[in-house]
Chain A
Amino acid sequence: MYGGVTVVNVPQLEIKKGESVGLVGNNGAGKTTLFRMILDLIRAERGEVLSNGEPVAGHEKWKNYTASYLDEGFLIDYLTPEEYFYFIGGLHQQSRAHVDDFLAGMTDFFNGEILKKGKYIRDLSKGNQCKVGVASCVLQNPELLMLDEPFANIDPTTQFRLKSLLKDMNKNKGVTTLISSHDLNHITDVCDRILLMEKGVIIKDIATSSSTLSELEEYFGVGQTL
C-alpha cells in the first residue's frame, strides 16, 4: 500500500538461488517499488520479504551478500569513481590493491570513460553513472544482484558488454540476478525466468523459451497491428 493506493500486491513469490529473473511491466507497474521492498527501503503494509530465510526488515545480514543499483541515489556523488570503489571495497574488507586489480579487469566495460578522468561522480553522464553503479555491484562479489533498468541510459556497446557480464555472473559464478527492463530483447536474452507485472500484480511468471519474446510483444503491443 502506498498513499492509499495498492502499488504492489504480491501474494507470494519465490526466487531460488542461482536463478536469473527479469522483471517487465509498464511504467507504474510497481517494479521499482518491489525492488525497494526487497531492499528494505520501503515498509510493506502487510507481509514480509525473506532473504535466505531471514526477514530483511530489522536485519542487516542480507547486506553482506546483496548488491544493488536502482538509481543515481545509490552513488555518493561528490566522490571520484576511484574513491567510491575504494570505499565500497573497504566495506567488504577488500584492500586497495584488490580493488585496483578488479578495476583493471573492468577496462573494457568502462570504455575509458570512468577512471582517471578527474571528475566527480556527479559530473558524469547518467550512462556513465550507471556503469559506476553496476561495477560497484560486481565489486562486492554478491550472491544476489539487483539492477533496475540497467540498459536504459547506456550506449549499445555497453549494453552488449553488460549482457555478457550478467550472463557470466549468473552461469559461471552462480549469482542470483534480478533485473528489470523495458527492453524485451535484452531481458529475454539475459534471464531464464520472466515476471510480468501490471498494476502491482505479477500477472505472468514464465520460463524463457523461444516463444517468450513474441508472447511479451503481444502483451505490450495491445491494440496495435504489428
Chain B
Amino acid sequence: MISTFISHELKAFWRSKNTGKSIAIRVVMGLLILYLLINVLLLGFFLDKLLEQLFPKADLLVSFCGVILIYFIADLFMRLQLQDLPTLRVQPYLQLPIKRNTVVGYLAFTSLLSVFNLWPFILFVPFVLKIIAADSGALVAFAFIISIAGLAVFNNYLALYIKRKANLNGWIYLIAAGIIILLGLGDFLWHFYSIRNISYLFFGQLVNHAALALLPVALGAMMFYLNFFYLKQNLYLEELGSHKASSYKSSTEYPLLNRFGNIGDLVGNEIKLILRNKRSRSALIMGLFFMLYGLMFYGKPGPAGAEGFKVFVGMFMTGIFIIQYGQFMFAWQSSHFDGLLVSKISFTDFLKGKYLLFTIVSTFYFVLTIPYVYYGWRTLMIHFIMYLWNIGINTTLVLFFANRNYKRMDLSKGAAFNWEGMSGNQWILSFPLLIAPYVIYGPLALLHHGDIGLALLAVTGIAFIFTRNFWIKKLEADYYTKRYTIAEGFRNK
C-alpha cells in the first residue's frame, strides 16, 4: 500500500501543471542543502576544537552536553519556519477498503524524510564517536546517539503538530514562536536560568546511566502518537456540526472602498476572501509574527545590528504579506477564476485591485513597525524606504510571478491535509524579492556610501509607484499570452 501511495504521489508531481517550476525549485533547494550539508559536516568534525575555543575553561564533555539542548531549541524554531508538511490528497482513499491507520501512518512516517532529521546526526555523531566513544566506551556513545535520535523525532513531530494546528488558527503559531523566543531570551538576555546547565543535567547523567537514553526515545514516541491520533481524528473532509456551521454569516461591506468604484469592490471581495478562509487568514496572522524580527536582530552587536541587515528586516516586516500572500496569487481565486474571466471585469481593474490591496496591507504593517523608532529615527526611515520599495517593486514582481502560477488551490477543503504554506520550498520563490534591493544597495554599502544606496532604493521605489500604469500594461500583455494556461491549470482539480 505504501508503495502505491508513493507511486501516486510521484505521478501527481510529474503530471501537475507546475512540474517545471517545482523541479526548478527542487534543484535550487537541493544545491542549497548540499552546501549546508558540507558546512555542517565540517562543523561536526571540528566541533571539539570549536568548543574548546568557545569555552576554554570548561570541560569538553560539559560544554558538548550543554550545546545539545540549545541546538534542539534552535532546531525547533527553524523547523517551524521551514519544514514541509507531508501532503497526500486523502479524499480518494477514504471510502476505499484501505485502513485509516495505513493512510495516517503513511503521512506520519514520510514526514521523517526531512533533511532536518539529518542535521543533528551529522553535527553531533562525529564528536560522539571521536571523544565520547574513546573516553566512556561504546555503550555510552550508543546511548548518546539514541537520545539525539529521540530528540530529533520529538522535534520533528512537535513542529508538525504545531504547524497543523496553526494551519487552522494562526495565533497558535504566534504563541509557539513567542514561547521559543522567550525561552531563548530567558537564558541569554535575562539570565533566569541556563539552558546549558539543564542540558548537562541530563546528558551528564547519561555517561553514568546509559539507560536514561530511553527517556528521549519515549518522548519521541509520545509525540509521534500524538500526531498520529490527531491526524486520525481529523481524517474527515469537512467537520460537521462544528461551531462555524451554526453561526449566521452576515453580509458586510467596506464603505471606504466604495470610493474606488469597481476596483474597490474587487478589493472588498479579496479582503473577504482573506478573512473568511482559514488558510489566507493564517497567512495574515503569521505576518504578525514577522513583526518580531526587529526585536530579534536590532540593537545586537555585530552584523545583525548593522544597517544592511535593517534593509532586509525592514523589507520583511513591511512586505511580508506581499511575499507570503502574493506567492500564491492568483491561485487564491482559482476556484472561481472562470467566473472572473467571463464577468465584466477588465484585467486592468483586476490588477489595480491587487495593487490597492497590497498597498493597504503594507501600510498597515508599516504602521505596526513604528514602535521600532526606539532604535532610532534612522531605523524608522529605513522601514519607510523599504515600505516604498515593497509597494513599488515587490508588488510588481509578485504579480509578474503570479502570471506563471498554474496550480489550483482549494480553499474550501479541510485545510489540515492540503497545506502548502510556510516551508523551505516556498521561501525559494521569494529569493528574487529578497535579493533585489541588495543589487542596488549592496555595492554602495560596501563602498561606504550606504546613504546613497538608501536614497537610490527610495527613488527606485517611488519611480515604480509613479509608473504603475506602465507596469500594469506590461503585466496585462504578459497575462494575455498565458490566460488560457492559467485558467486550465486552475480547472485542474
CB <8 Å contact, B339 and A74: yes
Instruction: Name which residue of chain B comes closest to A71, CB basis.
Output: B338
- Given known pairs A41-B487, A75-B339, A122-B412, the reply for A60 and B272 (CB within 8 Å) is no
- Given known pairs A74-B336, A119-B249, the reply for A79 and B488 (CB within 8 Å) is no
With A and B bound together, what is the CA distance between A120 and B412 in angstroms? 11
Q: Which residues from B are CB-within-8-Å of A40?
A: 341-342
CB <8 Å contact, A90 and B277: no
Instruction: Name which residue of chain A comes closest to B341, CB basis.
Output: A41
Q: How many residues of chain B are within 8 Å of chain A by beta carbon?
A: 33
> A73 at the A/B interface (Cβ < 8 Å)?
yes
Q: Which residues from A are CB-within-8-Å of B345?
A: 91
> B276 at the A/B interface (Cβ < 8 Å)?
yes
CB <8 Å contact, B272 and A73: no
CB <8 Å contact, B344 and A118: no
> A123 at the A/B interface (Cβ < 8 Å)?
yes
Q: Which residues from A are CB-within-8-Å of B265?
A: 87, 90-91
The contact of A73 among B262, B273, B337, by CB within 8 Å, is B337
The contact of B339 among A76, A82, A83, A120, by CB within 8 Å, is A76
> A219 at the A/B interface (Cβ < 8 Å)?
no
Interface residues on A, range: 35 or more
CB <8 Å contact, B336 and A76: yes
Interface of B is mostly: helix
> A162 at the A/B interface (Cβ < 8 Å)?
no
> A70 at the A/B interface (Cβ < 8 Å)?
yes
With A and B bound together, what is the CA distance between A86 and B343 in angstroms? 13
CB <8 Å contact, A91 and B343: yes
With A and B bound together, what is the CA distance between A159 and B248 in angstroms? 29
- Given known pairs A78-B277, A118-B248, A120-B249, the reply for A91 and B337 (CB within 8 Å) is no
Q: Which residues from A are CB-within-8-Å of B488?
A: 42
With A and B bound together, what is the CA distance between A96 and B262 in angstroms? 14
Report which residue of B247, B249, B269, B412 has the largest number of chain A beta carbons within 10 angstroms of its beta carbon: B249
> B467 at the A/B interface (Cβ < 8 Å)?
no
Q: Which residues from B are CB-within-8-Å of A92?
A: 344
With A and B bound together, what is the CA distance between A58 and B477 in angstroms? 11
With A and B bound together, what is the CA distance between A97 and B46 in angstroms? 76
Contact with B along A109-145 (1 / 0, CB 8 A): 0000000001110110000000000000000100000
With A and B bound together, what is the CA distance between A65 and B339 in angstroms? 15
- Given known pairs A73-B336, A73-B337, A91-B262, the reply for A79 and B272 (CB within 8 Å) is yes
Q: Which residues from B are CB-within-8-Å of A66?
A: 342
> B418 at the A/B interface (Cβ < 8 Å)?
no
With A and B bound together, what is the CA distance between A119 and B480 in angstroms? 35
Provide 20 A-B residue pairs closer than 8 Å at the C-beta atoms, listed in order of the A residue.
Answer: A39-B341, A41-B341, A41-B342, A41-B487, A43-B484, A64-B344, A68-B342, A71-B338, A73-B338, A73-B339, A73-B491, A74-B342, A80-B251, A83-B251, A83-B252, A86-B253, A91-B343, A91-B345, A92-B344, A118-B248
7 smallest CB-CB distances across A and B, nearest first, come from: A118-B248, A74-B339, A78-B276, A91-B344, A73-B338, A63-B344, A43-B484
